[in-house]
Structure 1
Amino acid sequence: MRKPWVGGLVAAVLLLGACGDPGSGGTSDDAPQTPDVTRAAEPPKEEAEPSATPPSSTTRQRAADKPRDRTGTSPKVLYLGDSLAMENQNVLGDLLRSELGARYRSAPYSGTTLCDYLDDTGKDSLVPDKHKAAALVRAERPDYVVLQFWGNAWGYTPCMDGITYDKARQKYFDRYAADAKALASQIHEAAGGGADKPRIVWVLQGPDPITPDRVRRVDAIYEAQARASGGIVADAGRAVSPASDRHKWVEKLPCTAYETENPAYCTEPGRSRTALHRGDDYLHFCLAPTTPKSRPCPTRSPGIRRIAAEITRAVGESS
């Protein structure tokens, strides 16, 4: 079924399972339930799992005192986020390894927002304690923590306490800014603070055809927080926007030089244009159909590679 994204509730249900935004007329009461996003979002089994037992104060201090492994020059990167990170994670990992020789860990959860990764959200979070940002920083000791969040705007994740963009816009932005500050603080504190703390990479989002001003303001929050706490901005959203208008949503764009040289990423080579989105999903960049259980994107998708390449560039230039 390939109906346009404006076609109705079916598309909205699929988007919700992945962090969608139903539109400027929606409310939190409109949100249907999403199947088992937590199980679907667990990191690959081959990666070491941090302990599920919350660390004691002694354990926390030992982790903070432990110096980060600085042998060699390859950065260690931790990638957290919502369904956009879920679909991007394998491509980003491949690029970070091939371009920068990076060590890499990802732990995205679909449907989440910043507060889900905070330590103090408990049972109201879609992220288990062992995968909270601070817990993973203590376990992994990364050089960079990449945060990619669309900005869940319609009350799906419980930790937002029902605050939605539609019902209370200023309250939504105030809460989002407070959560960005709190998350940055917890990440730095988990690493012991000081010069050895990881740098946070705030990924700016692409255009939203339904609530364009929301994305502008969410991106501005990320930029402000990066300035305030020594972070980095990766403007991945620009890579999936027209050159003439950073905040204009489009389904297709002209192929880049890389996409032209690698035809699998140029979906309409005769017109030198490539698809960023499926016709029935305005939000995600995976060109495979959305499934009830979230997953890394299983097919070559130009938008995902563009986003991952910009994140890799930002990490590389700051290393």
Structure 2
Amino acid sequence: MRKPWVGGVLAAVLLLGACGDPESDGSAAPAPAPKAPSAATRAPAPSTSPSPSARQLSPSSPPSSTTRRRAVQKPRTKTPKVLYLGDSLAMENQTVLGDQLRAELGARYTSAPYSGTTLCDYLDGTGEDSLVPDKDKAAALVREQRPDFVVLQFWGNAWGYTPCMDGITYDKARQKYFDRYAADAKALASQIRGAGGSKPPRIVWVLQGPDPITPDRVRRVNGIYEAQARSTGGIVADAGRVVAPASGRHTWVEKLPCTSYERKHPAYCTEPGSGRTALHREDDYLHFCLAPTTAKSRPCPTRSPGIRRMAAEITRAVAEAP
């Protein structure tokens, strides 16, 4: 029997620098409550490219047959250059995503995620109120790297953990939280496009997976991403869909049936006897890395089905971009 966890979530998230939410609005019934995330402190600034040890620990995934077929049907004139920014989810995903983009698209890839962040942390002008240093702001990296695509993956950080949110949290001021989040999405897209000059990068907005505590918040945050993509010619990668049951896009589950790829590669089908695989650890409802959380944030060091699923969906969105 699992231990009660809701009362300990806030304290745990302050240590994690993570991205969950403290209470539900009752708009949808939450999934059975998992344990609270294990504690870890906020990470120091990551490198803009994964370390050799990280690449070795997180094996690359073979290209999917679907993406290979699409690549044959629609060859690219050049290999895409991709910049990946985000919070703790991006931190743990970054090596696997880079491996898939390189293997399937021959992409040139750079990542600069920071745990505990939200959109405003990557905005120019946030200064000391940001968890991201000026050299790694979105616009600065676009000017330096000149990417074709900027992939943004943010859970939404509704806890008020990052100072640039000015204390605005989902539980205390919901409409203000959404208004601010939408304004930050618009501002970040504008800065990214402006930094690209005459050839701005395409922005890939990654939709998030289910939240067992506040399912409606994730639904509305995803709506903000979709609206921003429509208004600025961006791209949507619904990575959250592939870590949710087919019967409920915003229903949180710890495990799902193994996909055909996972059945063929037993390391990704954690319970082959039942045909199911784990997306989350029992003690962490938010993250998808099946290795324990550590004091120093890092790319996930073990094969994790949820991470591979999301990386494949992001890769597919980039591959199919017009």
TM over 0.5: yes
Sort the Cα spacing of 1:174 and 1:251 in 2 relative to 1 into closer, same or farther, 3 A. same
The equivalent residue for 1:91 is 96
Output aligned runs, 1:34-183, within 5 Å.
Answer: 35-39=41-45, 41-44=46-49, 73-183=78-188
- Counterpart of 2:173, as a letter, is A
Match 2:291 to one of 288, 295, 298: 288
Sort the Cα spacing of 1:11 and 1:171 in 2 relative to 1 into closer, same or farther, 3 A. closer
Tell me the SS of whatever aligns to 1:37. Answer: coil
Which aligned segments of 4 or more residues in structure 1 are displaced greater than 6 angstroms?
Answer: none
- Counterpart of 2:85, as a letter, is L
The reply on whether 1:235 has 2:238 as its aligned counterpart is yes
**Cα distance between partner residues in 2 of 1:150 and 1:174:** 16
**Cα distance between partner residues in 1 of 2:118 and 2:302:** 25
- Counterpart of 1:286, as a letter, is C
- Residue 206 of structure 1 contacts residue 215 of structure 1 at CA under 8 Å; is this kept in 2? yes
Tell me the SS of whatever aligns to 2:307. Answer: helix
Deviations 1:17-38, CA, capped at 9 Å, x for gaps: 242325218xxxxxxx973523
**Cα distance between partner residues in 2 of 1:11 and 1:165:** 13
The equivalent residue for 1:318 is 321
The equivalent residue for 1:6 is 5
Report the Cα offset of residue 293 of structure 1. Answer: 1.2
- Identical-residue share of aligned pairs (%): 74
Report the Cα offset of residue 292 of structure 1. Answer: 1.5
For structure 2, list consecutive stretches of 5 or more residues without a partner in the other structure. 25-38, 53-75
How many residue pairs align between the two structures?
286
The reply on whether 1:17 has 2:16 as its aligned counterpart is yes
The reply on whether 1:261 has 2:264 as its aligned counterpart is yes
- Residue 203 of structure 2 contacts residue 234 of structure 2 at CA under 8 Å; is this kept in 1? yes
Deviations 1:272-311, CA, capped at 9 Å, x for gaps: 1000000000000000001121100000000000000000
Tell me the SS of whatever aligns to 2:277. Answer: strand
Sort the Cα spacing of 1:309 and 1:11 in 2 relative to 1 into closer, same or farther, 3 A. farther
For structure 1, list consecutive stretches of 5 or more residues without a partner in the other structure. 26-32, 48-70
**Cα distance between partner residues in 1 of 2:262 and 2:14:** 27
- Counterpart of 2:8, as a letter, is L
- Residue 255 of structure 1 contacts residue 273 of structure 1 at CA under 8 Å; is this kept in 2? yes
The TM-score normalised by the length of structure 1 is: 0.85
Deviations 1:102-143, CA, capped at 9 Å, x for gaps: 000000000000000000111100000000000000000000
- Residue 38 of structure 1 contacts residue 127 of structure 1 at CA under 8 Å; is this kept in 2? no
Match 2:223 to one of 200, 220, 224: 220
The equivalent residue for 1:184 is 189
Provide the aligned C-alpha RMSD in A.
2.3
Sort the Cα spacing of 1:83 and 1:272 in 2 relative to 1 into closer, same or farther, 3 A. same
**Cα distance between partner residues in 1 of 2:134 and 2:125:** 9
- Counterpart of 2:19, as a letter, is G
- Counterpart of 1:109, as a letter, is Y
**Cα distance between partner residues in 2 of 1:271 and 1:244:** 19
Sort the Cα spacing of 1:10 and 1:247 in 2 relative to 1 into closer, same or farther, 3 A. closer
Sort the Cα spacing of 1:45 and 1:215 in 2 relative to 1 into closer, same or farther, 3 A. closer
**Cα distance between partner residues in 1 of 2:284 and 2:212:** 11
**Cα distance between partner residues in 2 of 1:5 and 1:308:** 32
The reply on whether 1:278 has 2:278 as its aligned counterpart is no
Sort the Cα spacing of 1:79 and 1:218 in 2 relative to 1 into closer, same or farther, 3 A. same
- Residue 81 of structure 1 contacts residue 113 of structure 1 at CA under 8 Å; is this kept in 2? yes
Report the Cα offset of residue 8 of structure 1. Answer: 4.8
